[in-house]
Amino acid sequence: MKKTRIVVDQALDIPEHIVERYGIKVINLNVTFADELANDISNKEFYEKMKLSPVLPKTSCPSPDAFIEEYKRGDMDIIVITLSDALSGTYGSATLAREMYMTESPEKKVTIIDSTNGSIGSALLVIKIAKLVEEGKDLDSIMKYANKAVTELIHYGTLETIENAVKGGRISKTKGFVVNALNLKPIVKIENTVFVVDKGRGTRNSLKKMVELVENDILKYNKKVTILAIAHSNDPEKAEIVKSMMIEKHDFEEIVIGEIGPIIGTYTAEGAVLLSVI
C-alpha cells in the first residue's frame, strides 16, 4: 500500500496518462494575456493565442495557500517536485507552505525536491520517483535516489524560432530577423537554468545536433539510459523524428511523449522539441 503522495507543479508538463497512472496531484500556475487569465484553454489554443499576441503572456507561480490546501488532504506523507528554483518561485512557494503547515501538523512528512529542471526533464524524474513510491520504498530511499538522479538527468531542447526572445526583449528585432533569415535554430541545455549551447541550420539539422549532444553526455557519464522522454510545443511530427533517432541507438524500457504546456511554452514558442533521458 502506498504511504506517499506526489505533488507537482504544472510546469513539469507531465502527460495526463502518467498523472492518472500514479495518482499525481498537479498544482496549476497562472498564465495571463493582457490581464486575461488563460488557465483553462488547451495547449493548441494557447499557441494560437500567443502567435497573435504582440507581447508574451505572463506566468506566475502558485501561492503558498495552494500547496497548504494540498498538504492538508489525506494522511499520507507528501513529496513535492517542482520546476527548477532558478527558473521559478514555485519551489520557494512550496517550501514556505511546508514551513507554515508543519507548525500545525508536525507528524506529517512533507518533502520538497527542486528538480533543477523543467518540463519533460522534470517529468522524467517524477516518473522514476513514482515507480519507487508504487514499489513501497520508504521516503529515505526515495530521497537518496532523487538527490542522485537530479545530477544525472540529461535534458536538451531545440527551438524553432526566437520570436519569443524578441517579444521578451532578450534579443533585438534586428538580430532576431537575421537569425530567422539564416534559418538558425538555437539548441539549449536545461540544467538548473537554460543555456544556449549550439545552433543548427534548419529543422532537421538542429534535431540531429540535439540528439548528438544527448549521446555525447550519455557516453561522457557512461550511463545506461532506460527511459526516453520527449515533449513538443504543438509539433508532434518533430517528436516522432527525434524518437526514431534515439531508438536506433538504445533499447528503452519506456518511451514517454508529451506536450510542452503554456508555462514552458511561453518561452520556447511553438515548434520546440525537448529531449530527456535517465
CA separation for the pair 116, 92 (Å, rounded):
13
pLDDT > 90? residue 71: yes
Domain architecture of the chain: domains with CATH = 4-151 (3.40.50.10170), 154-277 (3.30.1180.10)
pLDDT > 90? residue 27: yes
The model's confidence at residue 196, banded by pLDDT at 50, 70 and 90, is confident
Helix H segments across 53-172?
Answer: 64-71, 90-102, 119-134, 139-152, 163-167
CA separation for the pair 168, 50 (Å, rounded):
12
pLDDT tens digits, one per residue of 153-175 = 999 999 998 778 677 655 566 65
pLDDT tens digits, one per residue of 120-152 = 999 999 999 999 999 999 999 999 999 999 998
Contact (Cβ atoms closer than 8 angstroms) between residue 9 and residue 123: no
C-alpha cell at 257: 511523449
| pTM (two decimals) | 0.93
Rounded mean pLDDT, 195-215: 94
Contact (Cβ atoms closer than 8 angstroms) between residue 186 and residue 162: yes
What phi and psi values does residue 7 have, to the nearest 5 degrees?
-120, 135
